[in-house]
Chain A
């Protein structure tokens, strides 16, 4: 064990050392201090006001104001995008805007904008009315005129017996003409003209028909020009209508119905000359209004674009302020109400940086009293913080998806960086498809660079890729390593769309080759297509999978030793790690495989393994691989049998003994402490006394032991999926290549060949590149999570989430 003590401390495996700190800030410098800490982003604040609802907290008012301001900013953004303007941020003239100042400014801008909107709304309304009036005049006037013209040809049309509707119309217009001299004071035939949405016109007509019991005539024509809907701002198709009716009651009904359907009624004079006069009046007023409207819009756009130039800066500021106040809300006021007390976690290395930031804050806010920053003891376990870079981030995410590491626990993420893509590649080994993956990676990369360039040049809001693309881009380095390893494995398997190439020298099995030299790298291309191809490759890949599996699982067990050593639990080393590592029947299998490969022996490994259990004392005969094999086997078997009770029994009993020793003669002590615990504050640093429940511990240990022993078999078998998937991949690509592409190529027809090529390309892309990638990814995920991490990883920690502006802003962007 001495050797292990001398090893370097394995910093990369452990999460950052954290300390629990307390900050006591004078009120006047608190805001600035938090801002600086947010810029730094290395301190995680603990919520000290958990029992208070959001509006009871100290800075609820400020948070509310920030919410109000961001609402205003959203409103501006909406208006700007509605107006179709592009906001181009100009270099800010004043770098610093005060929040109070900004609030006033925003309120001014909003009221100004609202007023402008209301004005233009009013203008737009009257414009719309006039516009509709114009349409009605043109159309309805047209009806009337045509009706008048028709009177001359009335009789002829009657004879021809045209549509009844027209018939009615004729009669109506006839009557109307008679009415014309005496205005419509008497109950006679009169009309109402107006305009209505096209979608409603059918129902409108039906309703009119019902209300007047059919005593009306409805004439409609679609308006050629679309009218803008004042509420939504969309262009709506409308229909001009004229209703002829008789009677005062009918009139009131129709007017009500018109109002109910939102149909706008406009009076149209029956006299043509009057009509013309009105039309010209309306047209002139329309053009006037149009000019006014345009001017208004130009003015508004100018205002909006000036807002737009500051918008992104303001938004940033408001979001930052909101984050600061949210954090301030987590702090406690001390008794004198002069200081704010905050508690939180920070990594040890960040201590000087934080102190420096706090000092700056004190100086910048001209505070008399400095900010007190000191380390405290904490009851709860610290958060886990791994420093990652762009490359390791995705791999760490893979591990975190299973569970965040316990504080300072060995981090499997370090190994995952290589083992994950490698195990993937073992399953995916085909260097043609791997090249395609590699190409994907570059496409992703270039696309992102392209986006970044555009972002820099236009400096608009941050471009967001689609969620799938975002995910793929986040895992670009995973993809890169996976494809590189796949190329490597593909070269070893010598597979290129199920073809093999002679890249590395000539085959060893060529006829008339005088000196049998093995093929230089990977599988000999001669195997391809031979009758023994599958048995050979299967045996190779199976053995390889077991070797990888045993190696990786042993690494896991060894990591559990380092964990136990680090946390100083010698109990775990002696009664958990030791029986586990010596219980290595599969390690023996791995050894046999290697020996067999090196010696070229013909021994049957199944036979060796099976008879090792059935009759360990028998002679091995031709299956003997090395001297002393039988003794070793018996020894291993004995050790394996001993290891089971070793793992199962001592640990719980020793734990019980330790526990009883600890509380000997202190039976009353427990009661007292528990009472004190109830009274004391929740965040006091008093160590909690946990109840020791023997049966629970024993059952737990039993489950753990059984899991390990059964797992030794099933986990090793689980690694055979490496072989199975690789087999499936190569068989699938063989099928696609031979049964699709070669079959199509057999025809001497360009169309069939093209078709075959297309089917082959699609099958390769969707089945091999997408489905197979996903399944290999999932399987290697499983191997890492269950088989590897199950050996040592607790994964019950929680992540370090420092208060930082960058994270807060990114969060908002996600919404």
Chain B
């Protein structure tokens, strides 16, 4: 029913869309960031944030503040909002909202498995996990020693189970395997999410396919860059790319054979939407690439709010909030470590 969402959307989605748009308007603005960047200490940051919606979450923190506390509390706010929306949501919005968290779930699984591999304490690792990607038996991940066990013991209960079909091997877990597992899982997740959005149809499918394609392409580029100079074969690399997106399929063929960053740049500049990103990053500054991608992503996410009656706003809001938390973390780190000259380096203004 493309074009007719307006007739029926508000029956189930109207309240939550209003809520999420309200939340969006509480995102920090450029003026806020300018003020935050001028802060001298973490207490100043707290003081400034107490005038925003983060206020209630930070007001009862004792004074010697740490960056982690700020980030933790800000994340807590996001999680509270997400949980509230999830409670109010009906099908298929609730499934959509759950899909948003699977990415964090994958990251958490990888984090715990890597951590146990390096013999860290499980509870310490649990604290580091993103609260959006928590599931009941996450702590048990530490028991598993290889992929098969991991799947059979723990993940079979989680929504991630279907994504594992491609990466079950009996090999022992090591850093390389885990990284491959993460990317395989992510690939399966993105494809599944994309498929789900297509079944929803309408504006949701249209906007989400754009956002997810961007995500998939970004991952493809990152995989390529990170795997340059490792023992990952071209075919293996090719397998990790998601089977959709702007780069699919010809761009993937070309990316798979790239040997250095300049070649990647050559491939990407053939695609007009990514041309501008690579144009911004001058030669040899690959660390800024992430940031350029973030800027582009934020731009696209903001555009999602321009249309009404679709679910992509929820995805966009959660992503924007995460970006905001990243910004806050960067600013507070810079302030805490007296590196104020670098504060503007990786802050992405949302508005």
Contacts and interface: CB of A to CB of B under 8 A. Distances in A.
Most buried by B among A63, A67, A210: A210
Contacts of A63: 47
A221 interface: no
Given A53-B35, A203-B137, A207-B153, A259 B122 contact: yes
Contacts of A256: 140, 142-143
A64 B47 contact: yes
Interface in B137-175: 137, 139-140, 142-143, 152-154
A60 to B, nearest CB: 7
Contacts of A259: 122, 139
Interface residues of B, number: 25
Interface stretch (A24-32, A68-76, A146-154, A798-806): A68-76
Interface string B289-330: 000000000000000000000000000000000000000000
Contact of B51 (A54, A64, A207): A54
B39 interface: yes
Contacts of A54: 47-48, 51
Given A54-B51, A203-B136, A256-B143, A210 B38 contact: no
Given A207-B140, A257-B140, A55 B39 contact: yes
Interface stretch (B55-63, B211-219, B232-240): B55-63
A261 interface: yes
Interface in A156-205: 203
Contact of B62 (A64, A71, A261): A71
A211 interface: yes
Nearest to B62: A71
Contact of B140 (A60, A64, A75, A260): A260
Most buried by B among A53, A67, A253, A259: A53
Nearest to A72: B62
A60 B142 CA distance: 48
Nearest to A54: B47
A63 B43 CA distance: 11
A210 B153 contact: yes
A67 B59 contact: yes
Contact of B59 (A56, A71, A203, A207): A71
Interface string A41-64: 000000000000111100010011
B44 A55 contact: yes
Given A203-B137, A207-B137, A67 B60 contact: no
A68 B143 contact: no
Contact of A261 (B35, B38, B43, B140): B140
B60 to A, nearest CB: 6
Contact of B38 (A56, A64, A68, A71): A56
Given A56-B38, A210-B152, A260-B122, A253 B143 contact: yes
B40 interface: yes
Given A71-B62, A74-B60, A260 B51 contact: no
B38 A53 contact: yes
Nearest to A70: B59
A211 B153 CA distance: 6
B48 A53 contact: yes
Contacts of A260: 122, 137, 139-140, 142-143
A63 B48 CA distance: 12
A55 B40 contact: yes
B123 to A, nearest CB: 8
A71 B60 contact: yes
Most buried by B among A55, A203, A253, A261: A55
Nearest to A815: B56
Contacts of A253: 143
Interface string A616-654: 000000000000000000000000000000000000000
A64 B51 CA distance: 13
A257 B153 CA distance: 11
B153 A60 contact: no
A261 B143 contact: no
Contacts of A68: 62-63
B88 interface: no
Contacts of A75: 60
A64 B139 CA distance: 40
Nearest to A210: B153
Interface string A591-609: 0000000000000000000
Contacts of B61: 71
A320 B206 CA distance: 55
Nearest to B144: A211
A256 B142 CA distance: 8
B154 to A, nearest CB: 8
B113 to A, nearest CB: 13
Contacts of A211: 143, 153
Nearest to B45: A55
Nearest to A199: B136
A111 to B, nearest CB: 11
A257 B59 CA distance: 37
Nearest to B126: A260
B50 interface: yes
A260 B115 CA distance: 14
A248 to B, nearest CB: 15
Contacts of A257: 140, 143
A203 B158 CA distance: 13
Interface in B59-73: 59-63
A261 B138 CA distance: 9
B139 A55 contact: no
B139 A261 contact: yes
Contacts of A64: 43, 47
B46 to A, nearest CB: 9
A53 B44 CA distance: 10
Interface string A246-283: 00000001001101110000000000000000000000
B147 to A, nearest CB: 15
Interface string B22-44: 00000000000001001110011
Contacts of A71: 59-62
B39 to A, nearest CB: 6
Contacts of B47: 54-55, 60, 63-64, 67
A211 B136 CA distance: 16
Interface string A536-553: 000000000000000000
B31 to A, nearest CB: 9
Contacts of B139: 259-261
A71 B63 CA distance: 9
A639 B62 CA distance: 76
Nearest to A68: B63
A67 B46 CA distance: 11
Nearest to A213: B152
B136 to A, nearest CB: 6
A55 B35 CA distance: 9
Nearest to A71: B60
Nearest to B50: A67
B146 to A, nearest CB: 13
Contacts of A261: 139-140
A75 B153 CA distance: 43
Contacts of A60: 44, 47
Most buried by A among B35, B43, B48, B137: B137
Contacts of A203: 136-137
A64 B63 CA distance: 9
B162 to A, nearest CB: 18
Interface string B124-139: 0000000000001101
12 contacts: A54-B47, A55-B39, A60-B47, A63-B47, A67-B47, A67-B59, A71-B60, A207-B140, A210-B152, A257-B140, A260-B122, A260-B142
Interface of B: 35, 38-40, 43-44, 47-48, 50-51, 59-63, 122, 136-137, 139-140, 142-143, 152-154
> Top 4 A-B pairs ranked by shortest CB distance?
A260-B139, A55-B44, A53-B35, A260-B140
Given A207-B154, A211-B143, A253-B143, 12 more contacts: A54-B48, A56-B38, A60-B44, A71-B59, A71-B62, A74-B59, A74-B60, A75-B60, A203-B137, A207-B137, A260-B143, A261-B139
